[in-house]
Structure 1
Amino acid sequence: METSQFKSEEIHQRFLKFYAEAMKKLPVPMEILDIKTTYGTVRVYQFGNRGGLPILLFPGRAASTPMWETNLSGLLKTHDVYAMDLLGEPGLSTQTSPIKNNHQQADWVEEVITELEVEQVHLLGVSFGGWSAVNYAVHYQKYIASIILLDPALVFAPFSLKIILFSLISTLPFIPESWRKKSFSWISGGAEVDPENSTSLLISIGLKDFAIKTPAPKQFTVEELNGIRPPILVIFAGKSIVHDSVKALAFAKSLSSKVEAEIWPKASHAINGEFPDEINARVGRFLAGMNV
């Protein structure tokens, strides 16, 4: 098996059920697109129809479009939004050819944005989605107006031992379900996570029962990061278990002057769901400063 896929059709159908339930909580998309790329078909939703430069969302690992439930309404007050399910991750995108390196990870994103026929887009990624957005920017920049990163994983600091432990607990099949549920609370800064929430169920199924066959992400070099021309806003979570946020902030600030970096002390790695209004306001100020 060289492409990412669910471990059984039964699991896939269960996932689709929860996905449909979760999508009902989002604004109604203006258009639903299935864009064919070299490596598979990518599901993209267009929200809003105001014109101007849109925001393109990159969800976290094992997540998909429903994870943006708390963010979309706020973002749509100022910008159109495109949300996509990442290729090689659990969602409604379907990988059909092997993705063997980071350049190919960026290739399909470039094909998607080209198909959207937009002048430029603002990239907004959380966690692994932040890594995916930066990886795209390392290889292609023509369509990028700006980059916004919410506690991005493996971009400005290495993984912590805590996130490695979380990955083991959430993915190994023999781990007790009670431990798995507890680990979701852990990554959310100790907050209680509703195990019956459809979005939480999607991520849980994705972590445990979806075989990811894309290359493991690697931290970028200083040269790669400094080679990114568009302005970057990065918000680190003070309670993140993914990395040492203080060290990540220091490294980000040592880079190009185009990088604005800050820590939100009360936020966990689940920052987009914890502080949606504050994130929308901060994104709005950042983009307003660019006059777009």
Structure 2
Amino acid sequence: MAVGGFTSTAARERFVAAYDEAMAELPAPAATDDVETSFGTVRTYRFGPAEVGPPLVLLPGTASSTPVWADNLPSLLRIGLPVVTVDLLGEPGLSEQTRAITGPADQARWLGETLDGLGLSGVHLLGLSFGGWSAANLAMHRPDLLASLTLLDPAGTVGRIGVKAVLFSLVATLPLPKRVQQANLSWIAGGARAEEHAVGRMIEAGMRGYRRAQPFPTYPTDAQLRAITAPALVVIAGRSIIHHPGRAAARAGLIPNATVELWPDASHALNGEFPDRVADRVAALVAAA
């Protein structure tokens, strides 16, 4: 399998310009670290205090990276813990993949090596969409690293990826006119217009200029979900096009220590739609854990 990367120097420059514009909407990070792993260099940022306990670690969705958390960081930082964000390997961001990622074990390995390289354990891991799959996958392979697990409308984890999501992914990879790509992003985000927001412009630049080389997420078995031991929060978006919301919420109940919530008014972009509600739920989980 090929290694992910930008299609040209010009494509990378366009993406980095959009990335920097979107990063300007975040609080200034207290630290920026590039962590060497077996599969490439992983870009991470730390926000907030350094010495008050294990951090919240945030994993974005596919075709996304750290700036997607712009709306969430102010309320998450009020929980009082450091917040660490990760640009996923094999996705458009400032991480640089150097070796093919072939399946769930590889995904867990590079992410586990990233946390090990930062000297972190007992973290409160939060993942959005494909980041939710990545978080659950790490919980299955490296439970020693987690104190709690939050999954925000996780893709391919508790509900099978549906036809609408496959169509979105197909359109995202084709060299279609810009207006078509913008309409595609608006569809998955519940009608929000990507071009009106710095994060949306960054995601669009990544989709147009980055060649992904990720394996399709392996759907966890019932036994794997039942084996997750960390206290968990699973939020399913009622207007999600990723999976069937009702069936996904029901299957999330297989996770033994999970609180499962179905938010009828949320789209797949629920982190940006309801940042305070997300932070309130995460704060309660952290306190209980």
What TM-score range do you get, normalising by the shorter chain?
over 0.9
Partner in structure 2 of residue 51 of structure 1 = 52
Check the 8 A contact 2:185/2:194 in 1, yes or no. Answer: no
The TM-score normalised by the length of structure 1 is 0.95
Q: Counterparts of 1:118-157 in structure 2 under 5 Å?
A: 118-157=120-159
| TM-superposition CA deviations, 1:2-50 (whole Å, max 9, x none) | 2110111100011111111111110111110001111110001011115
User: 2-side partners of 1:68 and 1:14: how far apart?
Assistant: 20
Partner in structure 2 of residue 216 of structure 1 = 216
Partner in structure 2 of residue 99 of structure 1 = 101
User: 1-side partners of 2:256 and 2:133: how far apart?
Assistant: 20
What's the CA shift for 1:259?
Answer: 1.6
Q: Is 1:108 aligned to residue 124 of structure 2?
A: no
Q: Is 1:286 aligned to residue 288 of structure 2?
A: no
Aligned partner letter, 2:134: S
Aligned partner letter, 2:4: S
User: 1-side partners of 2:182 and 2:8: how far apart?
Assistant: 22
User: 1-side partners of 2:121 and 2:255: how far apart?
Assistant: 25
Corresponding residue to 2:174 among 172, 175, 190: 172
User: 2-side partners of 1:211 and 1:106: how far apart?
Assistant: 21
User: 2-side partners of 1:97 and 1:170: how far apart?
Assistant: 23
Aligned partner letter, 2:189: S
What's the CA shift for 1:196?
Answer: 4.5
What's the CA shift for 1:279?
Answer: 0.7
Q: Is 1:80 aligned to residue 88 of structure 2?
A: no
Partner in structure 2 of residue 271 of structure 1 = 270
Partner in structure 1 of residue 27 of structure 2 = 27
Aligned partner letter, 1:9: T
The TM-score normalised by the length of structure 2 is 0.96
- Identify the range of structure 1 (218-227 vs 38-47) with the bigger mean alpha-carbon deviation: 218-227
Partner in structure 2 of residue 227 of structure 1 = 227
User: 2-side partners of 1:282 and 1:259: how far apart?
Assistant: 12
Aligned partner letter, 2:283: G
What's the CA shift for 1:83?
Answer: 0.2
| TM-superposition CA deviations, 1:176-207 (whole Å, max 9, x none) | 322221122211222x3141422112211222
| TM-superposition CA deviations, 1:231-261 (whole Å, max 9, x none) | 11100000001110100111112x1431211
Aligned partner letter, 1:77: R
Q: Counterparts of 1:180-191 in structure 2 under 5 Å?
A: 180-190=181-191
Aligned partner letter, 1:258: N
In the alignment, structure 2 segments of 5+ residues that lack a partner are none
- Identify the range of structure 1 (164-173 vs 57-66) with the bigger mean alpha-carbon deviation: 164-173
How large is the RMSD of aligned CA atoms in angstroms?
Answer: 1.3
Partner in structure 1 of residue 42 of structure 2 = 42
User: 1-side partners of 2:11 and 2:196: how far apart?
Assistant: 16
User: 1-side partners of 2:69 and 2:252: how far apart?
Assistant: 25
User: 1-side partners of 2:222 and 2:274: how far apart?
Assistant: 30
CA 1:133–1:256 in structure 2 vs 1: closer, same or farther (change >3 Å)? closer
- SS across alignment from 1:123: strand
Partner in structure 2 of residue 237 of structure 1 = 237
Aligned partner letter, 2:64: A
- SS across alignment from 2:261: strand
